[in-house]
Structure 1
């Protein structure tokens, strides 16, 4: 028995050593991607003076993408729901970056109106659009069980997050293909990586964007167009309802700086094609999730459910104190 145990013991030890080595190598790659290796220059996709289309541009991450791209000399097409906010942002860009041009289009993506998309098509038809930022998105007003989700909220999330993103990309991508260059960044969420109870519709919509972006990236890569899904945990914004930044919750400015600085780098999304988790703490979190929770979806879902039930209870109490009726 002892004679047999030695080869088996050595074999298992070798397997264990190989496993640890692979994981260590993967973690080193994450650190290099997040902290050392630069991303591709934006000029690879279009020189200064070409155009960037930014959806959901009036607030938060979308607004920051517009400002940072303008600071790099790109003209900006601003698309969002509220015309007054768009005009204010366009004025801010003109004041800060006098040579940068802006165009605005106010449209409500929840309505999914053909005339709005026709207006966008007309607006960009004669422009050299080198960058598309698919940032428009909607989450639930508060965590809610799926069976209690208002039908309107459910439809709006799917329409905005999925159909809005698809239709804008279908308008802009052909021009990039014809010019054989372009960059398409689509904002994702950790809610699409792992199932998120009480945000089930939002979670599903972001999971859809993951698969769609990976497929689209493969389709467009031979034509010189780079597609990148940008994963994130929480960022201070109106959507997250978080105002205070921390090591794991950056400001929009911090997050966008990381996203634009790591084009083509996977960050924490090791092994997931056409995907990046560029902000350093989000990247480490994503790597850990991929490494240690591949077979623990049920455990993670349970933890998410407990967390969001607590958030919902606090939100309901706050609404009751304000006399607001909620579902």
Structure 2
């Protein structure tokens, strides 16, 4: 009897272990499928119409004329949306609108020049008025501002600090406050907020920028749950380095995609999680970023990440100071 009981216990533990191993294996299979295979929600859900351009819904993109914002503008037009372009420089807005209409005949564009770092309530009202007659179904909160170079918070220029907060937090909320009620009324819409690994890792020497992006993580999740009941999709795009003027990275690699590749990956994975498994309303669309996201979120100790981020930021700061000194001597 004792032998039978012991055998039963051993068999039970073996079955339990096998079940755990199977669950772990299935989890990693699902993670792989999330990152590489499973596609997201079709943009037609939000009113994209490639077959009859000009008749589809509108997408509004902030920070629309450069980098990731420009690619969102072009690729959303390619997918059948009309585009509202919002950025600082009128000349760039006009040129991009003409380029989009030329590439995709029938597509309509509109633009509004706005510097979000100093935007007034009247300008937000003007943006709302300009778009009041348009069926805006997609909002891309892409505009963002980082530090000129990594800097200790106690040495930070208050003007720069305020501008980062105004662009990354205040402007994003104000623009969303204009369009979220419209999306809720139409019972179908999409809001994408450009996040950053800096918010997830709490990057030292980029304290205000990191804090602003950390705000977007919590805000996007809360907003996503609120608007889910109105059939409006909200996602934070968790973003590592992409070739852009903000990142100051010029050469693409497996880790650092071009904006075109990054945006294509994002639009193909709407409402998936990829490497952000377990974090609601969050998507890490670029595959290599997705693996880094998962590993750093679930395996690497947070203290190690903070120390590594500080070391990297400090090295970047030193190189930026040396470059500025060389340029000053050359004058």
2:278 corresponds in structure 1 to 271
Matched, 1:43 2:58: no
Cα shift at 1:242? 0.6
- Which structure 2 residues correspond to residues 278-317 of structure 1 after superposition, within 5 A? 278-293=285-300, 296-317=301-322
**Does the aligned pair in 2 maintain the 1:195–1:297 contact within 8 Å?**
no
Cα shift at 1:276? 0.5
Assess, with a 3 A threshold, how the Cα gap between structure 1 residues 269 and 109 changes in structure 2: closer, same or farther.
same
1:3 corresponds in structure 2 to none
**Does the aligned pair in 1 maintain the 2:77–2:83 contact within 8 Å?**
yes
Cα shift at 1:230? 0.7
2:326 corresponds in structure 1 to 321
Aligned length: 318
Assess, with a 3 A threshold, how the Cα gap between structure 1 residues 16 and 84 changes in structure 2: closer, same or farther.
farther
Gap regions ≥5 residues in structure 1: 1-5
Assess, with a 3 A threshold, how the Cα gap between structure 1 residues 14 and 237 changes in structure 2: closer, same or farther.
farther
2:199 corresponds in structure 1 to 192
Cα shift at 1:31? 1.1
C-alpha separation in 2, matches of 1:167 and 1:15: 52
C-alpha separation in 1, matches of 2:201 and 2:25: 23
Deviations 1:260-279 (A, max 9, x none): 00011100000000111111
In structure 2, the residue corresponding to 1:255 is in which secondary structure? helix
Cα shift at 1:69? 0.5
Q: CA RMSD in A?
A: 2.2
2:180 corresponds in structure 1 to 173
Matched, 1:135 2:142: yes
Rg larger for = 2
C-alpha separation in 1, matches of 2:17 and 2:202: 30
Cα shift at 1:283? 0.7
Cα shift at 1:131? 0.5
Assess, with a 3 A threshold, how the Cα gap between structure 1 residues 148 and 128 changes in structure 2: closer, same or farther.
same
1:163 corresponds in structure 2 to 170
TM-score by length of structure 2 reads 0.91
2:121 corresponds in structure 1 to 114
In structure 2, the residue corresponding to 1:143 is in which secondary structure? coil
In structure 1, the residue corresponding to 2:61 is in which secondary structure? strand
Cα shift at 1:47? 3.6
Assess, with a 3 A threshold, how the Cα gap between structure 1 residues 19 and 147 changes in structure 2: closer, same or farther.
farther
1:226 corresponds in structure 2 to 233
- Which structure 2 residues correspond to residues 18-97 of structure 1 after superposition, within 5 A? 22-48=23-49, 49-97=56-104
Assess, with a 3 A threshold, how the Cα gap between structure 1 residues 114 and 282 changes in structure 2: closer, same or farther.
same
Q: Which has the higher contact order (CA 8 A, sep 6+)?
A: 1
TM-score by length of structure 1 reads 0.92
2:153 corresponds in structure 1 to 146
**Does the aligned pair in 2 maintain the 1:234–1:248 contact within 8 Å?**
yes
C-alpha separation in 1, matches of 2:16 and 2:259: 43
C-alpha separation in 1, matches of 2:248 and 2:22: 40
1:210 corresponds in structure 2 to 217
Gap regions ≥5 residues in structure 2: 1-6, 50-55
